[in-house]
Amino acid sequence: MKTARMKVVIAFCFGLMLSASASARDFAIDHLEPASWWVGMKHSRVELMVHGNAIGPLQPRLSRPGVTVIDVQRVANPNYLFVTLEIAASASPGTFDIEFVDGDRVAARHPFRLDAREAGSAARKGFDASDAIYLITPDRFANGDPSNDSVAAMQERADRASPNGRHGGDIAGISAHLDYIAGMGFTQLWPTPLLENDQPKFSYHGYAITDLYRVDRRFGSNEDYRALSRSARAKGVGLIMDVVLNHIGSSHWWMRDLPTPDWINHGGKFAPTNHRRTTVQDPHAAPQDKADFVEGWFSPGMPDLNQRNPHLATYLIQNSLWWIEYAGLSGIREDTFGYADAEFLSAWGKAVLDEYPDFSMVGEEWSASPATVAHWQRGKVNADGHVPHMPSMMDFPVHTALRDALREAEGWDTGWIRLYEALANDYLYPDADRLVVFAENHDTTRMLANVKGDVALFKIAMAYLTTVRGTPQFFYGSEVLMEGPREREDGNIRADMPGGWAGDAKNAFTGAGLSPAERDAQDYLRRLLDWRRNTPVVQHGKLQHFAPVDGVYVYFRYDGQDTVMVALNRNAKPAPLALERFGRFIKAGSKGRDAMSGKAVALGTTLELAGDAATIISIE
């Protein structure tokens, strides 16, 4: 009898243990984001997204001097809580637990960390026209750690033989070649997104993010990314993060358990964007056309985020602030800028600049219309009332004009006149000098392909980017004449950097195996950037240009003390340039010095221009 009674007691206790264990599992915290913050931020109220099975009824609490739970928001999905913390300036750095209470019982705990800010963090200086940006696709740049090429727990494995597969480039590869990047004269590094893209295919490019707080393990770790930023900074190179506010990847964990029914536009079902970016400010646009642009999905694999949801808007703003602070960023390039909700974009930009007044951001608005691009730049007074806060925009109008100008024959309305008239639209921008100018990027054919392999024209394009107003951006590998297809094929345009993989026949980093033409092109850009870095007038001086005549386009950069003349000659043969027209800048007895050779140049009545070349002269 006694034995039987003991068995009953044991069984009862075991049942209680199982019940308690099940309860603990039921209330596990699967996600708490962000999981850390900093003492001394202006953004001192932090809304945490907390996710776990049936945690909605739980009450968060903590015991930490200087940190207070000031608000708890519950939503339709009982698996989420939105908890706002107030972090006082008196709070001390360290890790503590946030408890989630069910009645009198602590049902779950999750750690939260407060960090001290780096000295001068709020006053960090972003990129400007004194910089030169180097754009890379990390998966295609260099493979420094072959052991992470494939990760068993992730959907897509490495396949270097496929143009659209993962090739194995990573943060270790970038870090190993920082000396090359700095030695070429690039002062800012823009990698396409490095955050987790656990998609079944096409995951290499990074724009279908599945975890906004985690670096993709095939690239490395969060700490590797932060170490890259520090190492780059020590070599004089800032780190620009490619941020995506418009969409996520279809394999993001949100898609398995949406926080709210309106978290994703169109109820989480694919509905394509119409790409009609002019509808944002078109006074005649049908409201449905505008909605289809902003709310439509970029692709079936990229669910469109509804930034009108206040919790999502706060999440995205805090995510950007977190990465700036965590990784010590010097800038943000924001993807598909105009596709997101305009009111949110204004709030996001203001929040970033409130925290970091001298920070730099550049938005992507892929339009050849300067009116469309200018709408989004800080300081623009818009008829629709939109107040933008984006300091810079990618200069797609000049990008388009440059490519057209070099591809077509000279004529009354073709050739150099494209560029001349594109710059004439600078009055539309609040600050044209803050624009980022470029000839090519990861979404276009390469410039060398655009000019059908003509290296002379490619060099002219590089000279133009180096001397025109704005901040120049260059695309990895083009400095060694990577050409790629002449029609857009993204996987082949984003080809592997020569020398980034063991056994490569050519090595752009060391010069081994490069042809004389490839070495010459690389050296040409290196010398251009070195000269530019030491010539402030082409960074911040004013620009005056003269209407193209007979295939020659001339402009000057000047600041009241120094003057640089740039003459771009599209003629295959040398051409004499009469200098009388430029009397404001070239006086009788003026002397000049060639920027590339350093040789003295006679400035009499005419100047002999080399054929198919840029002539750059410092006026002395």
Residue 64's Cβ-count burial label (10 Å; 0-12, 13-18, 19+) is middle
**What is d(CA 304, CA 294) in angstroms, rounded to the nearest whole number?**
9
Task: Identify the residue with better confidence: 609 or 22.
Answer: 609
Residue 527's Cβ-count burial label (10 Å; 0-12, 13-18, 19+) is middle
**What is d(CA 105, CA 447) in angstroms, rounded to the nearest whole number?**
65
- Please state, in angstroms and as integers, the Cα–Cα distance from residue 282 to each residue in 53, 260, 310, 345, following that order: 45, 31, 26, 18
**What is d(CA 362, CA 336) in angstroms, rounded to the nearest whole number?**
11
**What is d(CA 398, CA 468) in angstroms, rounded to the nearest whole number?**
10
Length of the chain: 620
Instruction: Identify the pLDDT of residue 597.
Output: 94
Q: How confident is the model at residue 1 (pLDDT cuts 50, 70, 90)?
A: very low
| Identified catalytic residue from 334, 335, 341, 426 | 335
Instruction: Indicate the domain borders of the chain.
Output: 23-118, 132-194+212-234+448-463+471-534, 542-619
* CATH for the 542-619 domain, from 1.10.3080.10, 3.90.180.10, 2.60.40.1180, 2.40.50.100: 2.60.40.1180
Residue 125's Cβ-count burial label (10 Å; 0-12, 13-18, 19+) is middle
- Tens digits of residue pLDDT in 493-528: 999 999 999 999 999 999 999 999 999 999 999 999
Tell me whether residue 364 is one of the annotated catalytic residues.
Answer: yes
**What is d(CA 555, CA 548) in angstroms, rounded to the nearest whole number?**
10
Q: How confident is the model at residue 15 (pLDDT cuts 50, 70, 90)?
A: very low
pLDDT mean over 115-134: 97
Instruction: Identify the pLDDT of residue 10.
Output: 33
**What is d(CA 186, CA 283) in angstroms, rounded to the nearest whole number?**
42
Count of other CB atoms within 10 angstroms of residue 113: 13
**What is d(CA 485, CA 36) in angstroms, rounded to the nearest whole number?**
45
Quick check: helix, strand or coil at residue 399?
Answer: helix
H helical segments located in 468-504: 490-493
Quick check: helix, strand or coil at residue 313?
Answer: helix
CA 189 to chain centre: 9
Of 15-19, 44-48, 416-420, 594-598, which gets the smallest average pLDDT?
A: 15-19
The DSSP secondary-structure symbol of 42 reads: S
Instruction: Identify the pLDDT of residue 26.
Output: 61
Instruction: Give the end-to-end CA distance of the chain in Å, rounded to a whole number.
Output: 111
Percent of the chain whose predicted confidence (pLDDT) is above 70: 96
**What is d(CA 72, CA 294) in angstroms, rounded to the nearest whole number?**
30
DSSP per-residue letters across 257-276:
S-SSTTSBGGGGS--B----
Q: Output b/e per residue, 292-319; b: 16+ Cβ within 10 A.
A: bbbbbbbeebbbbbbbebebbbbbbbbb
Is the bond into 430 cis (omega within 30 degrees of 0)?
no
pTM value is: 0.95
CB 142 within 8 A of CB 173: yes
In DSSP terms, 568 is beta-bridged to: 553, 614
CB 465 within 8 A of CB 439: yes
Q: Output b/e per residue, 456-473; b: 16+ Cβ within 10 A.
A: ebbbbbbbbbbbbbbbbb
Instruction: Identify the pLDDT of residue 96.
Output: 98
* Superfamily covering domain 23-118: Immunoglobulins (2.60.40.10)
H helical segments located in 130-243: 171-176, 178-184, 222-234
- Tens digits of residue pLDDT in 445-478: 999 999 999 999 999 999 999 999 999 999 999 9
Instruction: Identify the pLDDT of residue 12.
Output: 37
Would the pLDDT of 7 be above 70? Answer: no
Percent of the chain whose predicted confidence (pLDDT) is above 90: 95
Domains 23-118 and 542-619 share a fold: yes
pLDDT mean over 99-108: 95
Instruction: Identify the pLDDT of residue 588.
Output: 83
CB 195 within 8 A of CB 249: no
For residue 71, give both structure tokens. 């608000």
| Identified catalytic residue from 156, 364, 483, 612 | 364
For residue 63, give both structure tokens. 């015991």
Instruction: Identify the pLDDT of residue 589.
Output: 81
pLDDT mean over 23-36: 83
Q: Which CATH fold topology does 132-194+212-234+448-463+471-534 show?
A: TIM Barrel (3.20.20)
Residue 148's Cβ-count burial label (10 Å; 0-12, 13-18, 19+) is buried
The DSSP secondary-structure symbol of 418 reads: H
CB 55 within 8 A of CB 32: no
Q: How confident is the model at residue 253 (pLDDT cuts 50, 70, 90)?
A: very high
**What is d(CA 601, CA 586) in angstroms, rounded to the nearest whole number?**
12
**What is d(CA 356, CA 122) in angstroms, rounded to the nearest whole number?**
5
pLDDT mean over 28-55: 98
CB 430 within 8 A of CB 387: no
CB 101 within 8 A of CB 78: no
The DSSP secondary-structure symbol of 303 reads: P
Instruction: Identify the pLDDT of residue 302.
Output: 98
pLDDT mean over 326-342: 97
- Tens digits of residue pLDDT in 135-170: 999 999 999 999 999 999 999 999 999 999 999 999
pLDDT mean over 5-12: 37
Tell me whether residue 421 is one of the annotated catalytic residues.
Answer: no
CA 207 to chain centre: 10
Count of other CB atoms within 10 angstroms of residue 323: 21
